[in-house]
Amino acid sequence: MEGHVVPLIDGDQEVGFYFKGKGEFSLPIDQVDELTVVRFNLARNTKVKLRQGIGDWFLDIPISELNFLHEGLKLPAFESSDAAINESIPGSLEAFRKKNLMAGWRNRSYVMLTARHNLPAQAAWYLNILGEKGLWEFARDPWTARSEQLWFARPRSSREGKHAWNDLVLAPISVRNLGTPPRRPVMPPFVLKNLNLEMQALANGTGSYVATETFFPSSAGMKMMRLKLDNTILDGSTGGIVLHHLHLKKVTQDGQSLRFDHRENEILLELLKPTELGSPLQLRFEVEGDFLVHPDGDNRWELGNETWFPSTEIEGMRFTATAKIRSEKPFIPLATGQVVSQREEGDFHILETKLDQPTWSFFIVAGKYLFEEETRNGLKVRVASYAHKSNSDRKLAKLVLDIAQYYENILGPFPVKELNVVQRNEWGSGQAPNGFLFITNEAFNPQMGLLNQWFSQGINQRYAHEIAHQYWGNQVMIANAEENWISEAFAQYCSAFVIRSGKGESDFNHLIAEWTARSRDQAEWGTIPTLARTLALDDGPTTFRIRWSLLYGKGAVLLNKIHREIGDQAFVTLMRSFQKSVKGRPGTTQDLINLLKIIAKKDYTPFFEKYLWGTAMPD
Cα 192 to its chain centre, rounded Å, is 16
Instruction: Give the pLDDT score at 438.
Output: 94
Contacts 24+ apart (CB under 8 A), 510-516: 511/461, 512/556, 512/557, 512/560, 515/552, 515/553, 515/554, 515/556, 515/557, 516/553, 516/557, 516/617
Residue 599: exposed, middle, or buried by beta-carbon count in 10 A (0-12, 13-18, 19+)? Answer: middle
Please report which helix (H) or strand (E) contains residue 172, including its range.
strand 168-177
Residue 184 CB: number of other CB atoms within 10 A? Answer: 14
| Helix, strand, coil percentages in the chain from 3-state DSSP, rounded to 5 | 30, 35, 30
Distances (CA, A) of 169 to 109, 129, 156, 235: 21, 15, 6, 19
- Largest pairwise CA distance in the chain: 83
> pLDDT higher for 446 or 124?
124
* Residue type for position 97: R
Lowest mean pLDDT among 4-8, 203-207, 270-274: 4-8
Whether 454 has a pLDDT exceeding 50, the answer reads: no
CA–CA gap between residue 29 and residue 48 (Å, rounded): 14
Check residue 64 and give its pLDDT. 94
Q: Which range, of 10-24, 94-108, 265-279, 491-505, averages the lowest pLDDT?
A: 94-108
Distance CA 440, CA 373 (A): 18
Q: Is the dihedral of CA 537, 539, 544, 550 positive or negative?
A: negative
Phi first, then psi: give them for residue 425, nearest 5 degrees.
Answer: -80, 65
Residue 261, pLDDT above cutoff 70: yes
Output the pLDDT for position 538.
87
Indicate the pLDDT class of residue 239, thresholds 50, 70 and 90. low
Average pLDDT score over residue span 206-232: 97
Domain 185-368 has CATH 2.60.40.1730: yes
Q: Give yes or no for residue 160 having a pLDDT over 80.
A: no
Give the pLDDT of residue 331: 96
pLDDT at 235: 83
Answer yes or no: is pLDDT of 452 > 50.
no
Dihedral angle of Cα 449, 453, 455, 456, to the nearest 10 degrees: 130
User: Is pLDDT at 557 greater than 80 in this prediction?
Assistant: yes
User: Cα(4)–Cα(575) distance, rounded to whole angstroms?
Assistant: 61
Q: What residues contact 326, with CB distance under 8 A and at least 6 apart?
A: 199, 200, 201, 345, 348, 349, 350
Q: What is the average pLDDT across 207-233?
A: 96
Provide the angle, in degrees to the nearest 10, between the axes of the packed helices 484-503 and 505-522.
150
- Amino acid identity of residue 595, one-letter, is L
Q: Average of pLDDT values for 225-230?
A: 96
Q: In what helix (H) or strand (E) does residue 376 lie, and over which residues does it extend?
A: strand 370-376
pLDDT band for position 164 (50/70/90)?
very low
Q: Could you give the percent of the chain with pLDDT greater than 90?
A: 73
Q: Domain locations in the chain?
A: 2-177, 185-368, 374-463, 472-611
CATH superfamily of domain region 374-463: Neutral Protease Domain 2 (1.10.390.10)
Decide if 185-368 and 374-463 have a common fold: no
Q: What is the pLDDT of residues 22-81, one digit of tens each?
A: 999 999 998 999 999 999 999 999 989 999 988 889 999 999 999 999 999 988 776 655
Instruction: Give per-residue pLDDT as tens, 464-493.
Output: 999 999 999 999 999 999 999 999 999 999
- Average pLDDT for residues 491-496, to the nearest whole number? 96
Please determine, for residue 157, whether its predicted confidence score (pLDDT) is greater than 70. Answer: no
Cα first-last separation, the chain: 51
Confidence of residue 453 (pLDDT cuts 50, 70, 90): very low
Distance between CA atoms of residues 552 and 557, nearest Å: 9
Overall average pLDDT of the 369-382 stretch: 95
Give CA–CA dist 267/287, Å, rounded: 12
Span of 37-51, 85-99, 135-149, 424-438 with lowest mean pLDDT = 85-99
Give the dihedral sign, CA 376/380/381/382.
positive
- Residue 455 confidence (pLDDT): 35
In which band, very low, low, confident or very high, does the pLDDT at 99 lie, cut at 50, 70 and 90? low
Q: 573, 166, 208: which is closest to 409 by C-alpha?
A: 573
Q: Which CATH architecture has domain 472-611?
A: Orthogonal Bundle (1.10)
Radius of gyration of the chain (CA): 26
> Which of 115-129, 160-174, 391-405 comes out lowest in average pLDDT?
160-174
Whether residue 251 has pLDDT greater than 60 = yes
Say if pTM beats, i.e. exceeds, 0.85: yes
Rounded CA separation 487/559 (Å)? 12
Q: For residue 314, what pLDDT is reported? A: 94
Q: Are 433 and 470 in contact (CB under 8 A)?
A: no
Which pLDDT band holds residue 456 (cuts at 50, 70, 90)? very low
Q: How far apart are CA 356 and CA 152, in angstroms?
A: 42
Name the CA dihedral angle for 481, 486, 489, 493, rounded to a multiple of 10 degrees. Answer: -160
Mean pLDDT of 180-204: 95
pLDDT for position 393: 86
- For the stretch 326-347, pLDDT in tens is 999 999 999 999 999 999 999 9
**Sheet of 224-228, strand order:** 224-228, 266-270, 259-263
Tell me the per-residue pLDDT of 513-524, one tens digit each, with 9 for 90 and over: 999 999 999 999
Q: Answer whether residue 312 shows pLDDT above 70.
A: yes
Of 58, 73, 72, 70, residue with least CA distance to 25: 58
Which pLDDT score is estimated for 124?
95
Cα 207 → chain centroid: 25
Q: What is the mean pLDDT of the chain?
A: 90
| The three-state (H, E, C) secondary structure of 227-281, written as one string | EECCCEEEECCCCCCEEEEEEEEEEEECCEECEEEEECCEEEEECCCCCCCCCCE
Going 367 to 376 to 486 to 459, the CA torsion angle's sign is: negative
User: Quick check: 298 pLDDT over 80?
Assistant: yes
Highest mean pLDDT among 46-60, 131-145, 296-310, 557-571: 557-571
CA gap 299, 458 in Å, rounded = 28
pLDDT tens digits, residue range 580-617? 999 999 999 999 999 999 999 999 999 999 999 999 99
pLDDT of residue 74: 86
Residue 16: its H or E element: strand 13-29
Q: Tell me how far CA of residue 153 lies from CA of 234, 268, 306, 537, 578, in angstroms.
A: 21, 26, 24, 9, 41
